[in-house]
Amino acid sequence: MYFNKTLLLLIAYSLIIGLPCHTTYGQEQAADSSAGLTFQSPPEKRIGKKIVLIAAEQEYRSEQSMPMLAKILSSHHGFDCTVLFAVNPQGQVDPTMPVYPEKGKEDEFQIHNIPGLDQLKDADLVIFFSRLLTLPLAQQKQIVAYIDSGKPLIALRTANHGFRGRLPYKINGQQVQFGAQVLGGTFRGHHGNWHRDSTRGDIVEEMKKHPILQGVENIWGPSDVYRTFPENGGLPEDCTALVDGQPLMGREQGDASNPNKIPLPIIWIKPWKTSNGKLARVFHSTMGSGKDFENEGFRRCIVNACYWCTQLEDQIPKQSDVNYVAPYAPLPSGFNYEKLGVTPKMPAEYRSP
């Protein structure tokens, strides 16, 4: 009894003075701070790998999907996870922050801020989900240091145009383009009908036995297919397509294919050669909206990719557990924030539904 009272006093004191408070939810051990959310794996499942997930875009509700994914990866698969967010000057996760200065009010433009990027130094994998960010130079350099480290990375949806302008990254004096070169493709337009159709993911026949696709089936999502290369072109030679995306005629799974839209790659892998010759494993998916993550096949593909990226492909379960750890009900994609109910919130508010 004395221990319980002491623990309660310590928790109360930590809340008063603003120290981070550690809470246990069943098997999940968690820590909240201004630098995001941390989800520690249960000791009996821990595999000794740390994943940092960056939720920093304005359209596809990554602020909801990345904590959900971190819970699955930590609770079911033994990865220790930290979710970092883009925040406003008040420290709130704020998808409503503009990405371009308003004409005539350039001096009022607020650049973005991702606290906690120092955690990239000891990450074994980073999942990027950003869009057109303008970051302080110091934070850009932290991101570049990770990309050039030779460690693996996963990039989702808008990450292929995740930064406004160029990151300070050069190899042999040549500017490196994060989307086109590191990921193997950048956003060139909507091949599908933006917010008006959906996508069926068709596994590439020759790649069905790839470890990332173990147990993956029935991929579908309400986001549209991106075009990442010119018409009549294809992915760069160092990319291997795993899943093609077929635009559909409607917004429901099972709708007919659009006969006027050919399938384009939506999930692929590739190596990235760093400035010192290291080869990093790269996984990119142009699917990834909050609603896409409601699809079990898509979630399983991303979970399997975490194993593959960290060179644990021999440990991928026959049917990876992708059940939600807590209820997941993402808001729809879009920029009509008031209608959609998107408002600035403190990072800790994204720990629970």
Residue 16: inside a domain: no
Q: What is the pLDDT of residues 84-111, one digit of tens each?
A: 999 999 999 999 999 999 999 899 999 9
Question: Which residues, at least 6 apart from 335, have a Cβ–Cβ distance to it below 8 Å?
Answer: 58, 59
Under 8 Å between Cβ of 298 and 320: no
Residue 77, pLDDT above cutoff 80: yes
Q: For the chain, what is the mean pLDDT?
A: 92
Q: For residue 236, report the phi and psi dihedrals to the nearest 5 degrees.
A: -55, 155
The domain in which residue 175 lies consists of: 23-98+112-331+339-350
Strand partners, 40: 29
Q: For residue 145, report the phi and psi dihedrals to the nearest 5 degrees.
A: -60, -40
Residues shown for the chain: 353
Residue 267: inside a domain: yes
How many domains would you assign to the chain?
1
pLDDT value of position 32 = 54
Binned at pLDDT 50, 70 and 90, residue 66 comes out as very high
Residue 1: inside a domain: no
pLDDT value of position 27 = 37
Inter-CA distances, 320 with 87, 89, 136, 280, Å: 32, 39, 38, 24
pLDDT value of position 34 = 63
> E strands, the chain, where?
22-25, 28-33, 36-40, 50-56, 80-85, 125-130, 153-156, 170-171, 174-175, 189-190, 199-203, 219-221, 226-227, 240-247, 264-273, 279-285
The one-letter amino acid at 96: T
Residue 38: inside a domain: yes
DSSP 181: I
Residue 130: inside a domain: yes
Residue 218: inside a domain: yes
Residue 39, pLDDT above cutoff 90: yes
Residue 162: inside a domain: yes
pLDDT value of position 33 = 56
Residue 312: inside a domain: yes
Tell me how far apart the alpha carbons of residues 35 and 54 are, in angstroms, rounded to a whole number: 11
Under 8 Å between Cβ of 171 and 150: no
Q: What is the CATH number of the domain that holds 246?
A: 3.40.50.880
Tell me how far apart the alpha carbons of residues 60 and 38 are, in angstroms, rounded to a whole number: 22
Q: What is the pTM of this model?
A: 0.91
pLDDT value of position 35 = 79
Mean pLDDT of 62-80: 98
